[in-house]
């Protein structure tokens, strides 16, 4: 067994690694035979160490996490190797042993905190439940410790947070609750599975700072799973790169990133967006705006007459207010800002999904309410959403999905629709036979390509992209971004690209506007992003982004901005 000597105490102590995965393999038994999911995987994590596991979707990252915690599918089986937790083999442990171990000795933090929290229980009760079960506390003791645990995560009013239900907390607040729960029982190992993917850059940085602080205070070992290579340098000292179920490269993070040896690692690092790598964008020729928002505002939860009668202070919540911006023909305008800043609120107003106040103008025509949007406007202005799963009908084939706008706007004779669908698929670099498939048979990147094809099928003049690359792997993200720019160039359509990835948008956009708390606080040409005249909030966003750069030696290196 591997071991090392700890010398940070009064006497030297021999200790094994907290996690020791040794030549582990796992397979799924399917109707068509056996499929290998993990092949001869080995990695080691010591106390107080964070080991990053990076790779694209389908590479085996989360499969390994489930194998370590022994949450196995019924058709999954171990085919070799060992998984040791502080020297104990996890393979072969019974159900009761695993239930006692999970939460107490090993914990997990997931990508979407909402999936980890019971929507019917107050947040404080959920945290206390873990303490009662694994640390034997009384209910009152558990509630007091839960409040202290939330305070340690930086939540300003932990007592109030204890009384909230999950839907009453923001994404960042919910993730802090999940992290507090993971650390509550002082586990030996915590597995973080893409914990910041769904968060904006500022909130993600706060969560990462919290994680680093708690790791240093507790000495916990951590396996940090991610496809975002930009944040890895902030939190890990060692890294393993996984591809098709195999570890293809492993070592000290700086060495691996500075001189990647495996072609797959080189591919991942090469796909990282860099502001200086501007894509070839034709400059807009027409100075007259195609689209204008003039003093546009969107209200949520406006109080009814009875509420106003009983509570004179009752007021609506403004999702966005006083927004004025314009987009010229052929121009790509980026909108950036943290979650809740009003970016998607304005996008939905522009496409008729949100009621609005103010005025929207398009090609000289004026609209004072979403009910005024007519058929030509709805064809001219198309939106692509972040999650294609929520916008593609799971019961329709891809061909059916793409033919819908063709029929709706009479863009092709009935006998030519199938041929046009094939053209649309080829346009987004998908095989023509995908027309017979259903959305669940496609990867995330492929589904997003279908959503892009559907938007361009309407032959729009303005396409609004709402965080369309946020959930994609870095290499898929780069491919989708290049595809979008190519389609925009060929079609001449203007584009509003909503994102929290400033490295990416500085590659793509002509201009950037910045939203904060429902207001537009900054607007500038991309070339002026680093100007000292930028708004303090814009500066904060820029400073929060890890900047990839090329060292003099071959390969790439990642450093967080300072």
pLDDT in tens, 132-149: 999 999 999 999 999 999
Sign of CA dihedral 160, 162, 165, 168: positive
- pLDDT recorded at residue 388: 85
Q: Return the percentage of the chain with pLDDT > 70, whole number.
A: 92
Same fold: 4-270 with 291-396+446-547? yes
Q: DSSP letter string over 316-367?
A: -EEEEEEEEEEE-TT-EEEEE--TTSSHHHHHHHHTTSS--EEEEEETTEEE
pLDDT for 549 beyond 70? no
pLDDT for 560 beyond 90? no
User: Mind listing the pLDDT tens digit for each residue in 161-204?
Assistant: 999 999 888 778 888 999 999 999 999 999 998 888 767 788 88
CA–CA gap between residue 471 and residue 46 (Å, rounded): 30
Contacts made by residues 536-539, CB under 8 angstroms, sequence distance 24+: 538/514
- Looking at residue 293, the DSSP 8-state letter turns out to be E
- pLDDT recorded at residue 303: 67
* DSSP bridge pairs for 28: 35, 76
The full set of domain ranges for the chain reads 4-270, 291-396+446-547
Buried b (16+ CB within 10 A) or exposed e, 106-121: bbbbbbbbeebbeeee
The structural architecture, per CATH, of the domain 291-396+446-547 is 3-Layer(aba) Sandwich (3.40)
- pLDDT recorded at residue 553: 37
Say how many C-beta atoms besides its own lie within 10 A of residue 413's C-beta: 10
Q: Which residue has the higher pLDDT, 341 or 125?
A: 125
pLDDT for 79 beyond 90? yes
- pLDDT recorded at residue 310: 73
Q: What is the mean pLDDT of the chain?
A: 88
SS (H, E, C) 498-522: ECCCHHHHHHHCCEEEEEECCEEEE
User: Mind listing the pLDDT tens digit for each residue in 479-492?
Assistant: 888 898 899 989 99
Which range among 71-85, 152-166, 369-383, 470-484 shows the weakest confidence by mean pLDDT?
470-484
Span 376-384, average pLDDT: 97
Locate 453 and state its tokens: 């094809």
CA–CA gap between residue 289 and residue 286 (Å, rounded): 8
The structural architecture, per CATH, of the domain 4-270 is 3-Layer(aba) Sandwich (3.40)
384 pLDDT band, cuts 50/70/90, is very high
Q: DSSP letter string over 436-485?
A: GS-GGGS-HHHHHHHHHHHHHHT--SEEEEESTTTTS-HHHHHHHHHHHH
Q: Which residue has the higher pLDDT, 6 or 475?
A: 475
- CA-to-CA separations, 550 to 237, 259, 315, 553, 559, in angstroms, rounded: 20, 11, 52, 8, 11
Q: Which residue has the higher pLDDT, 13 or 354?
A: 354
CA–CA gap between residue 323 and residue 514 (Å, rounded): 11
């Amino acid at each position: 067994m591997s071991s090392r000597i700890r010398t940070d105490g009064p006497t030297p102590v021999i200790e094994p690694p907290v996690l020791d995965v040794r030549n582990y393999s796992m397979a799924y038994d399917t109707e068509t035979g056996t499929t290998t999911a993990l092949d001869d995987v080995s990695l080691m994590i010591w106390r107080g160490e964070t080991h990053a596991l990076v790779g694209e979707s389908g590479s085996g990252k989360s499969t390994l996490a489930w194998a370590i915690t022994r949450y196995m599918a019924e058709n999954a089986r171990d085919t070799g190797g060992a998984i040791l937790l502080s020297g104990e083999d996890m393979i072969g442990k019974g159900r009761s042993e695993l239930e006692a171990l999970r939460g107490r000795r090993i914990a997990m933090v997931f990508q979407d905190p909402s999936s980890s929290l019971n929507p019917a229980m107050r947040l404080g009760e959920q945290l206390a439940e873990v303490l009662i079960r694994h640390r034997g506390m009384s209910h009152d003791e558990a509630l007091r410790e839960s409040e202290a645990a939330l305070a340690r995560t930086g939540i300003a009013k932990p007592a109030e947070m204890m009384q909230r239900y999950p839907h009453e907390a923001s994404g960042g607040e919910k993730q802090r609750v999940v992290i507090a729960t993971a650390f509550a029982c002082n586990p030996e190992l915590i597995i973080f599975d893409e914990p910041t993917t769904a968060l904006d850059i500022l909130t993600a940085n706060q969560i990462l700072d919290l994680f680093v602080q708690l790791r240093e205070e507790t000495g916990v070992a951590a396996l940090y799973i991610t496809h975002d290579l930009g944040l890895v340098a902030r939190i890990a000292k060692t890294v393993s790169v996984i591809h098709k179920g195999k570890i293809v490269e492993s070592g000290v993070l700086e060495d691996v990133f500075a001189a990647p040896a495996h072609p797959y690692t080189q591919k991942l690092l090469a796909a990282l967006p860099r502001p200086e790598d501007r894509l070839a964008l034709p400059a807009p020729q027409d100075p007259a705006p195609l689209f204008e928002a003039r003093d546009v505002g969107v209200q949520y939860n406006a109080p009814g007459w009875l509420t106003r009668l009983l509570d004179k202070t009752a007021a609506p919540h403004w999702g966005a207010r006083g927004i004025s911006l314009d987009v010229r023909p052929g121009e790509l305008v980026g909108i950036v800002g943290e979650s809740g800043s009003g970016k998607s609120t304005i996008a939905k107003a522009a496409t008729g999904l949100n009621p609005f106040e103010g005025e929207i103008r398009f090609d000289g025509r004026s609209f004072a309410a979403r009910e005024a949007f007519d058929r030509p406007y709805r064809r001219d202005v198309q939106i692509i959403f972040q999650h294609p799963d929520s916008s593609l009908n799971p019961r329709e084939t891809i061909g059916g999905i793409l033919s819908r706008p063709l029929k709706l706007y009479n863009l092709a004779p009935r006998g030519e629709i199938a041929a046009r669908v094939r053209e649309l698929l080829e346009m987004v670099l998908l095989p023509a036979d995908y027309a017979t498939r259903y959305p669940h048979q496609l990867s995330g990147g492929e589904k997003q390509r279908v959503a892009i094809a559907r938007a361009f099928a309407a032959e729009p003049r303005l396409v609004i992209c709402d965080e369309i690359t946020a959930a994609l792997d870095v290499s898929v993200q780069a491919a989708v971004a290049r595809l979008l720019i190519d389609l925009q160039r060929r079609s001449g359509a203007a584009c509003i690209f909503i994102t929290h990835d400033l490295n990416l948008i500085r590659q793509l956009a002509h201009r950037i506007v910045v939203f904060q708390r429902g207001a537009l606080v900054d607007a500038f040409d991309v070339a002026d992003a680093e100007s000292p005249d930028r708004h303090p909030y814009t500066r904060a966003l820029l400073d929060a982004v890890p900047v990839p750069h090329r060292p003099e030696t071959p390969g790439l290196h990642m450093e967080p901005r300072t």
